[in-house]
Amino acid sequence: MKLARCLLPASLITLLTLTATVQSVDPSARLELEWRQHWKNYARRVIKLDDAFYACALYESQYPSSRGVTTIMLRQKTAKEITERFGTNAKVRRVINRPNEEIEAAASALPDIMVGQYGLVHSVEILDVLGPDEMIVGSMWLVDSEAVQKERDKDEAKIAAAGIDRREAEAVLDWMYEAREALGKKQREREYRGPFKVKGFSTIGLAKGDRWQGKEGKGIDFAIVGEAMHKTSKFSRREEAIPLLIPADAFKRNLADEKEFLAYLESRKFTKEMFLTLVNEEKKQNPKDDRLADSLIFQKLEGLDKKDEDEKK
């Protein structure tokens, strides 16, 4: 009697073959495979500036800030319908959109004063010039609140002239200026007063007391990459840790060389094996949130988790 042949699906045969291959890979080869899979993804968020390494955990070149949205994404959600009145009875419904300035501010502004965040600020006050590319700044503005209020007043006059109901007009104005007014309120919080240490921008022509809006006067793209020690005054020996800010666009020239990334890990007292263990642990704990996992990975690479633990004690 002939036995019937058992035919396995091609996909199952492939899966069994891959499983057997992975199981047969020796530990050192498996380690190398994982390294090839991960190192470039993290090296692209590390730069070398003046022989020192800096990391920005949330940096993504396609996003203008660490909020992780683009102006195109926000513009798709900007339509609002309003009622205009003509004479005593004539009415017409019209669709309006948020101003470009509102959309750009919402997408581009620096979200928080935290290591790993990046984005645009309107201006800062120069507190001290330390060298050709270093300075201490404070009084950070995310927007020019006075200019925003003037723009709102102009739009309020236009909306009133269009015959829109007063209550509806106020709601429309709140909607048109929601992000910029929220940023104006946020910049009054304590952490935006500074001081901050800035590195990597030319200080030529800058002086104490200046309000600086960047090289072209269009704002400054900052990345918060760590902390720096700073004397509280010229007459005191006491130092405090303050946020360290560098140009966000410096991360467009990130580490592309494997040896440089290994040097970065070594500078943080991590071996290749320790790095891969950290990546696997955080990815396992946060399988659905890559941004959170990557943020926690860099937090540990930079030693910020230990600092947080010390502050809680």
The reported pLDDT for the residue numbered 95 is: 59
What contacts 45, CB < 8 A, 6 or more positions away?
Answer: 55, 56, 57, 58, 59, 251, 254, 294, 298
Give the residue, 4 or 117, on which the prediction is more confident.
117
Shared domain for 130 and 195, answered yes or no, is: yes
Residue 311 has pLDDT above 70, yes or no: no
DSSP designation for 6: -
> Dihedrals φ, ψ of 120, to 5°?
-95, 140
The reported pLDDT for the residue numbered 2 is: 43
Residue 91 lies in a domain: yes
Question: What is the Cα Rg of the chain in Å?
Answer: 26
- The helix (H) or strand (E) run that includes residue 196 is strand 196-199
* pLDDT 10s digits, 182-227: 999 999 999 999 899 999 999 999 999 999 999 889 999 999 999 9
Shared domain for 194 and 50, answered yes or no, is: yes
Shared domain for 87 and 200, answered yes or no, is: no
Q: What is the number of domains present in the chain?
A: 2
Shared domain for 212 and 93, answered yes or no, is: no
* pLDDT 10s digits, 142-185: 999 999 999 999 988 887 777 777 777 788 888 889 999 999 99
Residue 166 lies in a domain: yes
Residue 66 has pLDDT above 80, yes or no: yes
Q: Which of 38-47, 122-131, 173-182, 302-311 has the lowest mean pLDDT?
A: 302-311
Domain boundary among the residues 121, 156, 186 is at: 186
Shared domain for 274 and 159, answered yes or no, is: no
Shared domain for 171 and 260, answered yes or no, is: no
Domain boundary among the residues 155, 186, 217 is at: 186
Residue 26 lies in a domain: no
The reported pLDDT for the residue numbered 9 is: 54
CA–CA separation, 135 and 269 (whole Å) = 29
Shared domain for 209 and 122, answered yes or no, is: yes
* pLDDT 10s digits, 109-128: 999 999 999 999 999 999 99
Shared domain for 128 and 274, answered yes or no, is: yes
The reported pLDDT for the residue numbered 3 is: 41
The reported pLDDT for the residue numbered 185 is: 96
Shared domain for 92 and 181, answered yes or no, is: yes
* pLDDT 10s digits, 243-300: 999 999 999 999 999 999 999 999 999 999 999 999 999 999 988 888 899 999 999 9
Shared domain for 135 and 157, answered yes or no, is: no
When pLDDT is cut at 50, 70 and 90, the band that residue 308 belongs to is: low
Task: Determine the 3-state secondary structure of 107 from DSSP.
Answer: helix
Other beta carbons within 10 angstroms of residue 18's beta carbon come to: 10
Shared domain for 175 and 196, answered yes or no, is: no
Shared domain for 130 and 201, answered yes or no, is: yes
> Of 209, 238, 230, which Cα lies nearest the Cα of 127?
209
Residue 211 belongs to domain spanning: 33-67+110-142+188-313
The reported pLDDT for the residue numbered 86 is: 44
The reported pLDDT for the residue numbered 305 is: 72
